[in-house]
Amino acid sequence: MPKSILIVEDSPMEMKLLLGLLEDKGYRLFSATDGDEAVAAAQRHHPDLILLDVVLPKKNGFQVCRQLKSSPDTAASKIVMVSSKSLEMDRYWGLKQGADDYLVKPFNPATVLAAIEKAI
């Protein structure tokens, strides 16, 4: 069964970039555009990996990450945060919430693919 990835991104352009990057790689892809949708989608699909933006409507990525990692139902999903928040403190905080990796936008496609391969 192919690995599954949930992409959580509120920017239509960034979502299109990530979907375009991954659609021909053989993954099952799901998407969400806000924090609440992200939690619901993760609970429904149990993705192998979540590419999670930090700045989101309703619930930010740090809150989503903490909630998913603290629930036995979704804790196994790997989380790679992908954010425009580029300070070392942002990275530290993302990893402290349970993220497995933290990438800064604008991202290099090869870096995203490497992070995905490393995580799953």
pTM, rounded to two decimals: 0.95
CB atoms within 10 A of CB 23: 10
Q: Exposed/middle/buried for 90, CB within 10 Å: 0-12, 13-18, 19+?
A: middle
The predicted pLDDT at position 107 comes to: 85
Q: Which fold has domain 4-119?
A: Rossmann fold (3.40.50)
Separation CA 117–CA 120 (nearest Å)? 5
- pLDDT band at 92, cuts 50/70/90? very high
Sheet order of strands, 4-8 included? 28-32, 4-8, 49-52, 78-83, 101-104
The predicted pLDDT at position 91 comes to: 94
The string of pLDDT tens digits covering residues 66-88 is: 999 999 999 999 999 999 988 89
The string of pLDDT tens digits covering residues 2-43 is: 999 999 999 999 999 999 999 999 999 999 999 999 999 999
Q: Is the pLDDT of residue 106 over 90?
A: no
Q: What are phi and psi of 52, to 5 degrees?
A: -120, 120
